[in-house]
Amino acid sequence: MKGEERREILDLPPDVRALVGECELTGKRTIFTRNEHPVAILVSHDEYTALRETLAIGNDAALRARIEAGDAQIARNALLLAEELTGERVANDRLRLVESVEGEWQALTDADRDAVRRAFAVIDEDPIVGAPLFEPLRGYWSTPAGGVRIIYRIVAEARFVVILSVS
């Protein structure tokens, strides 16, 4: 990404490594100041990813409309099993897909379909693998699969995961 610099954590001074470790393990943020004014903040990579995804999705009107349409399909129980779309059964059978995902699936390349199939298996096994989004998208999750972004919602009380978009 433009403007990024990668640094090996083991090359950092011990006190900085401790800050990063605490951030990574507990989610604690550290604000760096100059003359008592904030200039930078240390957040975990997971939180950074979730913030970036929330901004990207929040700024994509077409994707937000697909998510809203997906929510309406959930309310109507217009859902498919993953195997109805992919032709392959997932191990835990927790995945459901809103019907509109079928059109998105048809538009994918074969390589992206393979990546989405693998991502479905991972989500079925561990639904919190993606990035939990922030307001106004709280309750949704996002995860990449090849050149595709999968948006989903965990429905804990029903013990399944609903895929709202693969685009």
When pLDDT is cut at 50, 70 and 90, the band that residue 1 belongs to is low
Asked if residue 20 belongs to a domain, the reply is: yes
Residues 114 and 159 in one domain: yes
Asked if residue 52 belongs to a domain, the reply is: no
Q: Give the pLDDT of residue 98.
A: 97
Number of structural domains the chain divides into: 2
Mean pLDDT of 121-141: 95
For 28-57, write each residue's pLDDT tens digit: 999 999 999 999 999 999 999 999 999 999
Stated pTM of the model? 0.86
For 58-99, write each residue's pLDDT tens digit: 999 999 999 999 999 999 999 999 999 898 888 888 999 999
Domain limits for position 97: 60-166
Asked if residue 118 belongs to a domain, the reply is: yes
DSSP secondary structure of the chain: -TT-----GGGS-HHHHHHHHHHHHH---EEEEETTEEEEEE--HHHHHHHHHHHHHHT-HHHHHHHHHHHHHHHTT-EEEHHHHHSS--SS--EEEETTHHHHHHHS-HHHHHHHHHHHHHHHH-GGGSEEPPTTSTTEEEEEETTEEEEEEEEGGGTEEEEEEE-
Asked if residue 3 belongs to a domain, the reply is: no
Residues 65 and 137 in one domain: yes
Residues 68 and 145 in one domain: yes
Residues 17 and 71 in one domain: no
Asked if residue 14 belongs to a domain, the reply is: yes
Residues 110 and 148 in one domain: yes
